[in-house]
Structure 1
Amino acid sequence: MNSKEVAQLFDLPIDTIRYYERVGVIPPVQRDKNGYRNYTKKDLNWIFLAKSLRKAGLSIESLIEFATLAQSKDNVRGAQKQILEDQLVEIETKLEEMNRVRDLLRYKIDTFDDHVAKFNAGELRDDEVEELWTMKHFKI
């Protein structure tokens, strides 16, 4: 598969794919006799992994470390796995945080009209509102 096809497949600019290869985010791609990149399934997996992990927040430096470890002749599989495990923990933490904020937004939307009506009717004053920060399901 050529660079243009890969770029279309993963919706990435060709320059990004070449950058990933140049800095070591993905291992070097084999070239044909004319010097054109010829992407294999293995290369496509690397690009897909790099794009996915970048979207999830993994740094370029961590991706380079992961790819470098993959090309090492030493037994570094444990180190590679640790990079992935660390990223999973980070993502799970972010997801928990996002879920709490989502729940807060749902609560605010669900109670918005009622709160406004009570304020407008004089049934609720500023010092009588709930303390969102103390509600156990909203603690951040």
Structure 2
Amino acid sequence: MLNYNIYSHISNNEFLEIEKQLIPIQEIMINKLSLYGWKLTNSIKESDALIIDFILDDGSFIGNMGLVYIDKPDEAVFSFYVTKSYDELENRYFVKHFISENESLIFFEQNICFVLDEAIKLYELWDKNYIHENNVNF
């Protein structure tokens, strides 16, 4: 059920069709990421946004990764991001990387496992030193 459409470049029917197409991708992501402790923030069916978003808080780091719809005219595209942060002395140190940007839904239907593997590798590579040196919060 669509409460309201927050996007400028797709109709309500297009929103619902994209949402339906995202459900199998969400299931793949749940199955893979839950093995690493990641939790889905909201089901695609419960969200007003076309986003599949996961979080991880292991006590030392806070992670976020997901697939997000990019509201562009004339094309339905998505980007996949991964972030990692930690708090120290009242400061949050934070890095973000896009694994894939402005790709079609078909791309993610065909490549979501590869994209997830790349995101997990990057997340595990980033340590405190890397995050501190590449912090995006100035």
Q: TM-score, normalised by structure 2?
A: 0.30
Q: Which has the higher strand share?
A: 2
Q: TM-score, normalised by structure 1?
A: 0.29
